[in-house]
Amino acid sequence: MRLNGKYLIPAAIGLMLICLCVLYFVGRHDRKQQAAEAALSPLPRIHEVLKNGKSVFLSGEFIPLLAHYYSIQLPTLSEVAGCEDASAFYRLNREKRFSALFLSTRPASLKLVRDLMESPLWVLSEVLPGGYLFLPAGSPAWSLPEPGYWLKTFPNPDLRSSWLIGTAAALIPIGRSSDAEQLLSLAEAIGRKKSLIFATRASLDASRGDWRSALRLSRESLHLNHGDLVAEMIEIRALTECGHSDEALLKARRLAEKEENQETLFLLARTASAANSTQEEIDSLQRLVRLARRHGQPLGATLTYLGQAFARHGDRGEALRTFQEAIASPELTDAQRNLLRGVMDHLMQGDIPSSSLPALPSTQSPTNNSPGNRP
């Protein structure tokens, strides 16, 4: 079809208007999405805490996201990496005298979160999607708000659903399952974010050891949203716990290829171990070590697992070298080092103690000199 000349300009204008409308609505959607993400981010709350100008302890992933002028109030990344448990944190706290702690929901932070929940010196003051705020003893402790609070604070139903689900997800790993259950019920009543609700309920059931229900709910979540990382990880773990280790290992491989991070690689290693695939367990742990080196993250726990995998595989030399490196990791406690030293003594031949082994090189390549890759 050919347009008559007199219709060409109106047609072009009409097409341009259509394009502008599409761009407007796409941009509006993007702005709404960005606004929702900003509202769920813990960073605004962290900025509020830092306004007092006093020293604040943060999980390592938050520190690079903050302006440089806050650095005087914050510990260094290496100091944070050495605080995986309460005893290491208290040593640093005696020096820094923190006014508040904001810890993330990532697995690396959860040991310290749980330890501090038992501390007489700190109070869990707030729980929100992505983090936990601890304040000195005497501060108000967090408790579940009245249901009307959520409607007043988050009148937008999508945002309210996301906040309820995200807070529930943060409550599950610290043992507040009853509170998490109430928040998920409130989210279900809104009728939004169904895949997220299924995934979070799967996580809740997994925390209770109900793996069959966790498997069913994770699959319902994935049916609605194939890309839900949390649901995929719970499905893999549930398959392993329900005795389907081969299927779990296949899915864990695919997930680690699609999304390589600490959580997916550790899950792959754990799944490989359950499926008696020791070499694959070693490979995934070595990838995890390289990733941790690249980002300056603690290595002690991962090296311990890797040494155990080498020992099960019959590679005594690599097991000993890996345990040596684990012992040198600053975040391990003296008790953990003594335990590893006992394992190493057991692996030594004859009556020669492991303390007689030559020292490891003091400097290591960030990526290419992990255990198992030495010449």
15, part of any domain: no
Q: What is the mean pLDDT of residues 297-311?
A: 92
Asked if pLDDT for residue 371 goes beyond 50, the answer is no
* 68-89 pLDDT per residue, tens: 889 999 999 888 887 877 888 9
Kindly give the residue spans of alpha helices, DSSP state H, lying in 51-106: 77-81, 86-96
Boundary residue ending a domain (111, 136, 161): 136
14, part of any domain: no
Q: What is the mean pLDDT of residues 303-319?
A: 94
> Same structural domain for residues 130 and 147?
no
> Same structural domain for residues 50 and 81?
yes
* 120-159 pLDDT per residue, tens: 999 999 999 999 999 999 999 999 998 789 999 999 999 9
187, part of any domain: yes
174, part of any domain: yes
Asked if pLDDT for residue 310 goes beyond 70, the answer is yes
Q: What is the pLDDT of residue 31?
A: 46
The Cβ of residue 159 has, within 10 Å, a number of other Cβ atoms equal to 17
354, part of any domain: no
**Do residues 262 and 288 touch, judged by C-beta distance below 8 A?**
yes
> Same structural domain for residues 105 and 188?
no
Q: What is the pLDDT of residue 296?
A: 77
183, part of any domain: yes
Determine phi and psi for 56, rounding to 5 degrees: -135, 135
Boundary residue ending a domain (85, 115, 136): 136
Total of domains in the chain: 2
Gyration radius (Cα) of the chain, Å: 25
34, part of any domain: no
Q: What is the pLDDT of residue 27?
A: 47
Domain around 214: 143-243
Q: Which residues, at least 6 apart from 281, have a Cβ–Cβ distance to it below 8 Å?
A: 269, 272, 273, 309
Relative orientation angle of helices 300-312 and 316-327, to the nearest 10 degrees? 160
Residue 149, domain CATH: 1.25.40
Asked if pLDDT for residue 8 goes beyond 80, the answer is no
> Same structural domain for residues 200 and 222?
yes
Q: What is the pLDDT of residue 25?
A: 44
